[in-house]
Amino acid sequence: MKKIKFIDLFDFDFTNQKGLSLASKLLEIRRQAKNIAHTANNKQIENGEFATMFAENIKDWMNDLASVADEALDTHLEFNATKKT
């Protein structure tokens, strides 16, 4: 599935009341993880060797976390929502 944006969530009919809330929270996890990864990447560029290794690990972990949030969102939408026509 393509990378979902918040506005895209309004194109779905959710099967329960909490569906939109869960989907928006998953998007927030992705957003925060990507922001942390971006900050770690910037710190990696401007600091020394050990800071670089530490920041690179954080960047990788946050990108992995963002990917998990994307997969969870895709699964949630697949099983708990239908695309509006």
* CB-based contact 19:81 (threshold 8 Å): yes
The answer to the question of residue 60 being in a domain is yes
User: According to the model, what pLDDT value does residue 9 have?
Assistant: 84
The answer to the question of residue 42 being in a domain is yes
User: According to the model, what pLDDT value does residue 1 have?
Assistant: 57
| Domain with 52 in it | 27-83
The answer to the question of residue 44 being in a domain is yes
pLDDT digit string (tens) for 15-68? Answer: 887 888 888 888 888 888 888 888 877 776 666 777 777 778 888 888 899 899
44 vs 82, higher pLDDT: 82
Give φ, ψ of 2 to 5 degrees.
-70, 160
- How many structural domains compose the chain? 1
Helix (H, G, I), strand (E, B) or coil at 35: helix
The answer to the question of residue 77 being in a domain is yes
